[in-house]
Chains A and B, each alone.
Chain A
């Protein structure tokens, strides 16, 4: 099973996670720029974070045989802090980088006017820089938030096939399917969405435009949820090709639209070991 996790916050994960992910077949990840639990209060914090998403984290990932790309944006939570809003002005410097395969995570958290403004401005940037967009949907008031999200996406004029609307569930998947946007599902250890429900959704909606991610971060989460969903699909009668489509070819197709996905040197033979399995600590 070759796996591409299209949404995982590796900066918050350990080297043990990288090793376990490699061993389970994960060969490529996209790390979206998002909130880090502790609020940022200045543009400089974002710049250092973006620097890490483009530099240190790919360096760490490479030592475990995993290809790391990222998405860049001002996240909806921090769009509400006027001290952070100026991040929008430095985004153009980052949206041209080789490792940046989408604008994201953008969208709504509490559906404030500030979030409206940041969301619309960043959809316009995606159009300008010809990049796909990763849209986060709110955890509270999700159905209403998703509806409003789709309205804003429509108004922006961006092609729906360049947009993934993420963190969906049984109540929100239908409207996103109808919109032509890609459907993203974050599989968590509890509540939001689990492997068994995901399999049911795949049976109902098919495998096209479907992205399954672990969205693992600093909270209770599991970077192997992609793999576990793949196994649940096989147990439920899906073919290995179906699994490959959902867990590898779909994310490759979606992020490939950036023209910047670099997977040529990725070793996808799951039986091959990887030698570089200890991050150099600079301590001899």
Chain B
């Protein structure tokens, strides 16, 4: 198993395009439990010259597990703003696992404030617990948006998610 991984890392260092056939099979080679970590290691092994192109390709052709692995790795990779189109694409999906993965530390650091607020609101809207996201930045404007959301829910006689209640309670 780890033999497979060391051989994969060696191949990627020698020929970055090798990651195209290695990245998708990680789960079958290393097991479901280790897959996310191993995929992060494979991405980290990409040389800087090939990084942006391969990361974009792995996302473009990836299944949801691969896409989540790319999104989760962005903050640890020296990609600059090159990962932002992937984050924006993931945020447009209706797959809760992709939306949650897109809103990690990379989005927190690099997404423009308006898009970031919309993304957090979308999570709440989709029923993704904010605890799954990790650190969430709530400024005055986002708090106002969450308050409107809570008001709309209450008016419809529907429950307001607990994490939104907590955020809004902190505002007083």
Binding site for B on A (CB under 8 A): 47, 54-56, 58-59, 90, 92-94, 96-99, 259-260, 280-284
Contact of B95 among A59, A97, A98 (CB under 8 A): A59
Beta-carbon contacts of B149-172 to A below 8 Å, as 1s and 0s? 100110000100000000000000
Q: Given A98-B27, A280-B96, is A93 in contact with B61 using a C-beta cutoff of 8 Å?
A: yes
B85 within 8 A of A: no
Main secondary structure of the interface of B (DSSP, over half): helix
- Alpha-carbon distance between A90 and B4 when the two chains are bound, in angstroms: 25
Residues from chain B with a CB closer than 8 A to the CB of A55 are: 63-64, 67, 95, 98
Could you jot down 20 A-B contacts, CB within 8 Å?
A: A47-B61, A55-B63, A56-B95, A59-B64, A59-B95, A90-B61, A92-B21, A93-B21, A93-B24, A96-B25, A97-B63, A98-B27, A98-B28, A98-B63, A260-B28, A280-B94, A280-B126, A282-B125, A282-B126, A283-B125
Residues from chain A with a CB closer than 8 A to the CB of B27 are: 98
Indicate the size class of the contact surface on chain B. 20 to 34
B147 within 8 A of A: no
- Alpha-carbon distance between A98 and B65 when the two chains are bound, in angstroms: 10
Residues from chain A with a CB closer than 8 A to the CB of B24 are: 93, 96-98
Are A96 and B21 within 8 A (Cβ)?
A: yes
Binding site for A on B (CB under 8 A): 20-21, 24-25, 27-28, 60-61, 63-65, 67, 93-98, 122, 125-127, 149, 152-153, 158
Main secondary structure of the interface of A (DSSP, over half): loop
Are B63 and A280 within 8 A (Cβ)?
A: no
- Alpha-carbon distance between A136 and B3 when the two chains are bound, in angstroms: 40
- Alpha-carbon distance between A260 and B29 when the two chains are bound, in angstroms: 11
Contact of A47 among B21, B60, B96, B127 (CB under 8 A): B60
By beta carbon, the residue of chain A nearest B60 is: A47
Residues from chain A with a CB closer than 8 A to the CB of B28 are: 98, 259-260
- Alpha-carbon distance between A185 and B67 when the two chains are bound, in angstroms: 36
Residues from chain B with a CB closer than 8 A to the CB of A97 are: 24, 63
- Alpha-carbon distance between A93 and B19 when the two chains are bound, in angstroms: 11
Residues from chain B with a CB closer than 8 A to the CB of A92 are: 21
Q: Given A47-B60, A54-B63, is A282 in contact with B94 using a C-beta cutoff of 8 Å?
A: yes
Which of the listed residues A58, A98, A259 has the most CB atoms from chain B within 10 Å of its own CB? A98
Residues from chain A with a CB closer than 8 A to the CB of B67 are: 55
Residues from chain B with a CB closer than 8 A to the CB of A98 are: 24, 27-28, 63, 65
Are B127 and A280 within 8 A (Cβ)?
A: yes
By beta carbon, the residue of chain B nearest A50 is: B61
Give, as a whole number of angstroms, the nearest-CB distance from B101 to chain A: 12
Give, as a whole number of angstroms, the nearest-CB distance from A280 to chain B: 6
